[in-house]
Structure 1
Amino acid sequence: MFHWTSAILIVIYTFFICNCQVTLPNQPIKDALYLHNASSSNLTLRDCSFRPTDQRQRCPDPDIRYILYSGTKNQTVNYIQSDWLRQSIWDHTKEDIILIHGYAGGDGTLPMAVLRDAYISVGSYNVWVVDWGRLAQPPCYRAAVHNLKAVGRCTGDLLMGLRAAGLMADKMTCVGHSLGAHICGLISQYVLFRVHRIIGLDPARPLVPSQSRLDSGNAAAVHIFHTNAGHYGESGKSGHVDFCINGGRIQPFCENTKIDEQLCSHVWAVCYLAESLFSDFVKKAEPCSRRCPTGPRPGHRIGIPIPMGQSTPLTASGSYCVHDNYPPFCPTKAGGVGDKRCCLKAPDIKPPTTETDIFVN
Structure 2
Amino acid sequence: MNSFGLCVILVIYYINRVVISQVTLPGQPVKDALFLHNFVPSNNTLKDCVFRPSNDKDLCPDPDVRFVLYTNDKRQPVDQGQTDWLRQSVWDPLKENILLIHGYAGGEDTLPINVVRDAYMRNGSYNIWMVDWGALGEPPCYRASVHNMRAVARCTGEFISSLRIAGLPTEKLTCVGHSLGAHVCGLISQFVLFRMHRIVALDPARPLITNNVRLTNGAANAVHVLHTNAGHYGESGRTGHVDFCINGGRIQPYCEGADIDAQLCSHVWAVCYMAESLMPSLRRKAEPCSRRCPSAPRPGVNRVGIPVLMGQGTPLTASGSYCVHDDYPPYCPRKQGDIGDPRCCLKAPEIVQPAIESMDPQERTTSNAV
Give TM-score scaled by structure 1 length.
Answer: 0.92
Counterpart in the other structure of 1:335: 337
Counterpart in the other structure of 2:273: 272
Q: Deviations over 1:317-354 (max 9, x none)?
A: 00000001100010112232111111011231314566
Cα separation, 1, equivalents of 2:103 and 2:33: 21
Q: Deviations over 1:75-98 (max 9, x none)?
A: 111123221100000000001011
Structure 1 pair 346/163, CA: closer, same or farther in 2 (3 Å)? same
1:165-184 → structure 2 map (5 Å cutoff) = 165-184=166-185
Q: Deviations over 1:85-116 (max 9, x none)?
A: 00000000001011100000001101001111
Paired amino acid for 2:46:
L
Structure 1 pair 212/321, CA: closer, same or farther in 2 (3 Å)? same
Q: Are the counterparts in 2 of residues 97 and 125 from structure 1 also a CA contact under 8 Å?
A: yes
Q: Are the counterparts in 2 of residues 337 and 360 from structure 1 also a CA contact under 8 Å?
A: no
Q: Deviations over 1:113-164 (max 9, x none)?
A: 1111111111111011000000000000000000010000000000000001
Structure 1 pair 199/248, CA: closer, same or farther in 2 (3 Å)? same
2:94 equivalent to 1:93: yes
Q: Are the counterparts in 2 of residues 68 and 77 from structure 1 also a CA contact under 8 Å?
A: yes
Q: 1:7 aligns with which of 10, 35, 38?
A: 10
Structure 1 pair 200/22, CA: closer, same or farther in 2 (3 Å)? farther
Deviation of 1:308 after TM superposition, in Å, equals 0.5
Counterpart in the other structure of 1:235: 236
Structure 2 spans left out of the alignment, 5+ residues: 366-370
Cα separation, 2, equivalents of 1:62 and 1:337: 37
Q: Are the counterparts in 1 of residues 32 and 347 from structure 2 also a CA contact under 8 Å?
A: no
Deviation of 1:23 after TM superposition, in Å, equals 4.5
Q: Deviations over 1:232-288 (max 9, x none)?
A: 000020101000000001011111011111000000000000000011111110111
Cα separation, 2, equivalents of 1:222 and 1:31: 30
Paired amino acid for 1:191:
V
2:173 equivalent to 1:187: no
Q: Are the counterparts in 2 of residues 21 and 32 from structure 1 also a CA contact under 8 Å?
A: no
Deviation of 1:221 after TM superposition, in Å, equals 0.6
Structure 1 pair 280/37, CA: closer, same or farther in 2 (3 Å)? closer
Paired amino acid for 1:212:
V
**Higher RCO (CA < 8 A, seq sep 6+):** 2
Structure 1 pair 234/38, CA: closer, same or farther in 2 (3 Å)? closer
Q: Are the counterparts in 1 of residues 34 and 111 from structure 2 also a CA contact under 8 Å?
A: no
Q: 2:302 aligns with which of 292, 300, 303?
A: 300
Q: Are the counterparts in 2 of residues 24 and 32 from structure 1 also a CA contact under 8 Å?
A: no
Counterpart in the other structure of 1:136: 137
2:77 equivalent to 1:76: yes
Paired amino acid for 1:236:
G
Q: Deviations over 1:38-63 (max 9, x none)?
A: 46221000000000021355100011
Paired amino acid for 1:345:
K
- Partner of 2:244, secondary structure, is strand
Paired amino acid for 1:267:
V
- Partner of 2:322, secondary structure, is strand
Identity of aligned residues (%): 63
Aligned residues: 359
Cα separation, 2, equivalents of 1:251 and 1:35: 15
Counterpart in the other structure of 1:62: 63
Q: Are the counterparts in 1 of residues 178 and 204 from structure 2 also a CA contact under 8 Å?
A: yes
Q: Are the counterparts in 1 of residues 342 and 356 from structure 2 also a CA contact under 8 Å?
A: no
- Partner of 2:128, secondary structure, is strand
Counterpart in the other structure of 2:327: 325
Deviation of 1:6 after TM superposition, in Å, equals 3.3
Cα separation, 2, equivalents of 1:21 and 1:128: 32
Cα separation, 2, equivalents of 1:263 and 1:31: 11
The Cα RMSD (Å) is: 2.6
Structure 1 pair 48/80, CA: closer, same or farther in 2 (3 Å)? same
Cα separation, 2, equivalents of 1:178 and 1:61: 22
Cα separation, 1, equivalents of 2:260 and 2:184: 27
Q: Are the counterparts in 2 of residues 78 and 84 from structure 1 also a CA contact under 8 Å?
A: yes
Structure 1 spans left out of the alignment, 5+ residues: none
2:214 equivalent to 1:213: yes
Counterpart in the other structure of 2:106: 105
- Partner of 1:266, secondary structure, is helix
Cα separation, 2, equivalents of 1:310 and 1:134: 29
Cα separation, 1, equivalents of 2:192 and 2:350: 48
Counterpart in the other structure of 2:162: 161
